[in-house]
Chain A
Amino acid sequence: MSDALPRNPTAGSDFGSIESALVPTHDVLVIGAGLAGQRAALAAAEQGVSVGILSKVHPVRSHSNAAQGGINAALNPGDSWESHAFDTVKGSDYLGDQDAISIMCEEAPEEILHLEHLGVTFHRNEEGKLGTRAFGGASAARTYYVADITGQAIMHVLYEQLMKYSDDVTRYEEWFCTALAMDEQGECCGVVTRNVADGSMQLFTAKAVILACGGNGQAWKPTTNALICTGDGIAMAYRVGAKLMDMEMIQYHPTTLAGKGFLITEGARGEGAHLLNAKGERFMERYAPNKMELASRDVVSRAEQTEIDEGRGFPDGTVALDITVVPKKRIHEALREIVLVGRDFAGVDITKEPIHIKPGNHYTMGGVKTDVDGRTEVPGLYAAGETACVSVHGGNRLGANSLLDTLIFGRRSGVDAAARAKRIEGSRPSGGTLEVEQATIDAISAREKGSGRRVSEIKFDLGTVMDKQVAVFRDEAGIQGALEKVRRLKEEAESAYIDDKGSVFNQDLLGAIELGYMLDNAECTCIAALERKESRGAQYRTDFPERNDEEWLKHIDLQQGDEEPEISYSEVTITQWEPEERKY
């Protein structure tokens, strides 16, 4: 394998014993190969620089697959990007940065057309033009879609393009990133990785590194997120001093299967499905009389949780989603995946009977703080997609805005990273990074069975406490309890043991490293949630139930400190939409 790696002509013996000579290099290196990563890689390659894309799973296994409902853009005649932007600002509970939101919404139509030209099989209206569906929190039907496999359909088309441009973008499929490499000036200049297939450690150098590793949903249990969503990018950036922002903002999706965490697309409600409590009441009438089931996700999730907590839910702690009101033909055409999820995972024929659902962990609104070109506060380090916090989602992300976020800011990161690569000389890691990472791994492998707890047990405890205390409703005592628990688990993780001592596909070892990433993410979320003493978007504090613009219309930034994260604040960018009361 290593024969095929591109060599760094500047690599020399001063890299240290292991880091000598065999250092592959790229101008731009993208970590993660979901939508944001693939889009970034393609955009950077278009600028004529050498690009590598590296992912711990095969790119088509990435979690962007799971985005079902669609992608927003104001492309219909009569719609405007300003309307899309306003809906997004309002959806964010005014915590989103309006300059970034404007860029995203203004560039959205062009991006949709670009995807269509590449081959995405978007749904057509009767005239054969792009057709839309309604989605939550939106004042117009502006969601473009491919049945209910939109994320998969787009991601597979981008992967087609990666195959097409294989001369311009080198793919490293199933390579796991353990750390970012820094030079003496404190700039990011590469990554340390483990080749999953054979366990070999490899340093890569690059003039710019783009983190596009998705969110951190696995720190909650249950979650709609895939097993790979362990907050790797957020944790790696944090560990080299990048700032994290809005980490308290964790989205609970209103319609997930109880216990199992499977997602039922918001598209179901977009097509007209109703939410009912155990009494058969369409309870959204009481919470959002205008938008009903299509209010923002935080609003709908809170309504459901209130119904459940006040005893109007079903005995299994759920409410019902009634899709039977949608015409059968339309269900087959537009909600097929949900028919399968109902049949295979809940034993329910959704065309004939309501399905039981509840709010479930779904999306990381916060992440690595970036500007509108994906730049973090660490030179040379970029972030895009769910890993990043630009912030376009603020306190609450609108449905069908996440795919858009990945593509717009993935592309912008790729372009800017390529420009940096053309501008700078390139530097070398300050040395020893690879040895440090190898030593960490050796230490994990050396722990004997019984020296501590199993990694899987700690992960289970983490997910359980986060879902209990840092969920739809929060209060100080609960979050404080969760933070203490997370810190205990962090200590326990130091001695947690693994069974697999091998090199080939040692998933056990990677699981131990991922646990560390998740614990860093969870700690930051607890601290930010504790800090924000108000209710805004996904952060609802029962002890501070009102939004408080005077004190809290600001971002909470976290940076790694000596003992614990250091808290600072940054202003929310407001351009043309002054905060007002949020009603649906």
Chain B
Amino acid sequence: MAEYTLKVRRYQPESGQGPFWEEFKVDLDPTLSVLDGILQAKDRDDGSLSVRCSCKAAICGSCGMKINGQSGLGCKTQIGEAQELADKKASVGNGGGTKDNAIVVEPMGNMPVIKDLITDMESTHWEKIRRVTPWLLPYGEAPEREYVVEPESMIDITQSMACIQCGACVSSCLSMEADPDFIGPAALAKAYRFVGDPRDAESKERLHDLAEDPHGIYDCTHCFSCVDACPKGVAPMDQIMRLRRKAGEEGIDDPHNGHNHEIAFTKIIEKKGTLDEALLQQESYAPGIKGKLVPSKGAIEGLGKSLPTVLRAIKTGKARSLSKLIPGVHPKLPGGAQDEVKAIYKHAEEHREEFNIYIHGEDDVEPEPDEPADAALTDEAKAATEEKA
């Protein structure tokens, strides 16, 4: 048992008053949750303290809230850990050393507050979920038995099925803050669940729809906030990036040229080991010899638009050396290093795998040093060098 102070941002709509802060003293085991703390305060001190909650086990998705500024679930955040974070945050402000700071609890962001920790998720979440046509659109008549599909494909989309619609990602989304019309991380992760489903007949139409909407998949700024906020490991941003990649493969026009940029970037590294910046822009817009001989209208436009940036880079001294100004001058890595880079590419091609929590677990992202993957990589590099010799 330990004592904690919860500093709750409250709002009582019928009081005629604006939002206010109130502190509650609670005592409970550090391994219990912030939600347990809130419920203790509600049970003991003030029954009007309002929070949506039900399962207390991170499966119903009711208790989305901000704890010390971080969006997540109240029931999944241990109060002892929340206390550590509160103290850490306070010590950054005053030079360190304080203890027993209040744990700050607020309603989720990017949503209108109805009462205390209860927010209106209809306009900010559910409407957007409905926006992505959130049901399977199968091919014709259903088969007599089940659809036969690759086993991996079901595991793949189960990661987005793990979403419990708590809204923590929406609460933390920086793009949503700038553009409230952004379809948003939760709804786009839901969209991937259908785009990635081999049983869905309209994957292409879905991709066009999500790519062509100005508030669609290209509205994400890759900030990782939703990945941090998600209590279920759905990693909404990863699902958005997969939608983008699929859209690129589908040949769908990306207004920011991101897909071509990504291809140009990886090709240059494969060839030279480090980035030839002078080559990057033109390869992104007008790839290869054909791209340069017959440049598309978009390529001329895109390259033209990037000229001021190049000039500014020269002016400020950011791009002065020849290798940064003249395409192709940029040197390859010395010695056999370039071959090792190529071996990495080859390995990646052969072992292409999306990261998925149902395959890799939570903490095993980094392969351990003695894992065969590393050995295989070394062997491949060696083989590549020998081949060359």
Please report A residues at the B interface, Cβ cutoff 8 Å. 57-58, 60-63, 65-66, 113, 116-119, 121-131, 146-147, 149, 152-153, 156-157, 160-161, 163-164, 197, 226-228, 260, 262-263, 328-329, 331-333, 336-337, 339-341, 343-347, 351, 454-457, 498-508, 511
Convert B141-175 into 0s and 1s, putting 1 for each residue whose CB lies closer than 8 angstroms to a CB of A. Answer: 01101111111001101100111110000000000
Among B40-48, B101-109, B212-220, B263-271, the stretch in contact with A = B40-48
In the assembled complex, the Cα of A195 lies from the Cα of B118 at a distance in Å of 15
Q: Are A116 and B147 touching (Cβ within 8 A)? A: yes
Which A residues touch B31, using CB under 8 A?
345-347
Residue pairs across A and B with Cβ atoms less than 8 A apart, 23 shown, are A61-B52, A63-B55, A117-B138, A119-B199, A129-B146, A149-B162, A152-B162, A153-B158, A160-B136, A226-B55, A227-B53, A262-B57, A328-B361, A332-B358, A332-B364, A333-B358, A339-B361, A344-B76, A345-B57, A351-B361, A502-B12, A502-B14, A504-B14
Q: Are A499 and B151 touching (Cβ within 8 A)? A: no
Which B residues touch A328, using CB under 8 A?
361
Q: Are A502 and B199 touching (Cβ within 8 A)? A: no
Least CB distance from B118 to A in Å reads: 5
B115 interfacial by beta-carbon distance below 8 Å: yes
In the assembled complex, the Cα of A118 lies from the Cα of B14 at a distance in Å of 43
* Chain A residue at minimal CB-CB distance from B33: A345
Least CB distance from A197 to B in Å reads: 7
Q: Are A164 and B135 touching (Cβ within 8 A)? A: yes
Q: Are B114 and A332 touching (Cβ within 8 A)? A: no
Q: Are A228 and B57 touching (Cβ within 8 A)? A: no
Which A residues touch B319, using CB under 8 A?
none
Least CB distance from B119 to A in Å reads: 11
Least CB distance from A105 to B in Å reads: 18
Known: A457-B43, A498-B47. 5 other contacts (CB 8 A): A60-B164, A117-B147, A118-B136, A147-B155, A344-B76
Q: Which of B115, B138, B199, B357 contacts A505 (CB 8 A)?
A: B115
Q: Are B148 and A127 touching (Cβ within 8 A)? A: yes
In the assembled complex, the Cα of A118 lies from the Cα of B78 at a distance in Å of 37
Least CB distance from A59 to B in Å reads: 10
Once A197-B114, A332-B357, A507-B50 are accepted as A-B contacts, the answer to whether A146 and B60 lie under 8 Å apart by CB is: no
Least CB distance from B167 to A in Å reads: 11
Q: Are B358 and A340 touching (Cβ within 8 A)? A: no
Q: Are A128 and B149 touching (Cβ within 8 A)? A: yes
In the assembled complex, the Cα of A504 lies from the Cα of B114 at a distance in Å of 8
Which A residues touch B199, using CB under 8 A?
119
Q: Which of B47, B60, B154 contacts A63 (CB 8 A)?
A: B60
Least CB distance from B154 to A in Å reads: 5
* Chain A residue at minimal CB-CB distance from B150: A128
Which B residues touch A347, using CB under 8 A?
31
In the assembled complex, the Cα of A60 lies from the Cα of B61 at a distance in Å of 8
Convert B278-299 into 0s and 1s, putting 1 for each residue whose CB lies closer than 8 angstroms to a CB of A. Answer: 0000000000000000000000
Give the bracket for the number of chain B residues in contact with chain A. 35 or more
In the complex, the 8 A-B pairs of residues with the closest C-beta atoms, listed nearest first: A119-B136, A499-B47, A456-B43, A508-B47, A500-B48, A124-B151, A332-B361, A117-B142
Q: Are A113 and B14 touching (Cβ within 8 A)? A: no
Q: Are B43 and A454 touching (Cβ within 8 A)? A: yes
* Chain A residue at minimal CB-CB distance from B32: A260
Q: Are B146 and A113 touching (Cβ within 8 A)? A: yes
Q: Which of A121, A149, A339 contacts B154 (CB 8 A)?
A: A121
B225 interfacial by beta-carbon distance below 8 Å: no
Once A61-B60, A147-B158 are accepted as A-B contacts, the answer to whether A161 and B164 lie under 8 Å apart by CB is: no
In the assembled complex, the Cα of A508 lies from the Cα of B49 at a distance in Å of 9
B89 interfacial by beta-carbon distance below 8 Å: no
In the assembled complex, the Cα of A147 lies from the Cα of B59 at a distance in Å of 14
Q: Are B135 and A163 touching (Cβ within 8 A)? A: yes
Which A residues touch B382, using CB under 8 A?
none
Q: Are A500 and B47 touching (Cβ within 8 A)? A: yes
Which A residues touch B6, using CB under 8 A?
none
Q: Which of A336, A346, A502 contacts B357 (CB 8 A)?
A: A336
In the assembled complex, the Cα of A212 lies from the Cα of B114 at a distance in Å of 28
Q: Are B158 and A121 touching (Cβ within 8 A)? A: yes
Q: Are B47 and A65 touching (Cβ within 8 A)? A: no
Q: Are A61 and B362 touching (Cβ within 8 A)? A: no
Q: Are B357 and A152 touching (Cβ within 8 A)? A: no
Which B residues touch A336, using CB under 8 A?
357-358, 361
In the assembled complex, the Cα of A344 lies from the Cα of B35 at a distance in Å of 14
Least CB distance from B305 to A in Å reads: 41
* Chain B residue at minimal CB-CB distance from A257: B57
In the assembled complex, the Cα of A346 lies from the Cα of B60 at a distance in Å of 19
Convert B74-91 into 0s and 1s, putting 1 for each residue whose CB lies closer than 8 angstroms to a CB of A. Answer: 001010000000000000
Least CB distance from B76 to A in Å reads: 6
Which A residues touch B54, using CB under 8 A?
57, 61, 63, 226-228
B197 interfacial by beta-carbon distance below 8 Å: yes
In the assembled complex, the Cα of A262 lies from the Cα of B33 at a distance in Å of 13
Once A63-B55, A504-B14 are accepted as A-B contacts, the answer to whether A126 and B151 lie under 8 Å apart by CB is: yes
Once A61-B62, A66-B55, A500-B47 are accepted as A-B contacts, the answer to whether A113 and B358 lie under 8 Å apart by CB is: no
Which B residues touch A331, using CB under 8 A?
361
Which B residues touch A343, using CB under 8 A?
362
Convert B92-117 into 0s and 1s, putting 1 for each residue whose CB lies closer than 8 angstroms to a CB of A. Answer: 00000000000000000000001100
Once A113-B146, A125-B151, A504-B115 are accepted as A-B contacts, the answer to whether A160 and B57 lie under 8 Å apart by CB is: no
B313 interfacial by beta-carbon distance below 8 Å: no
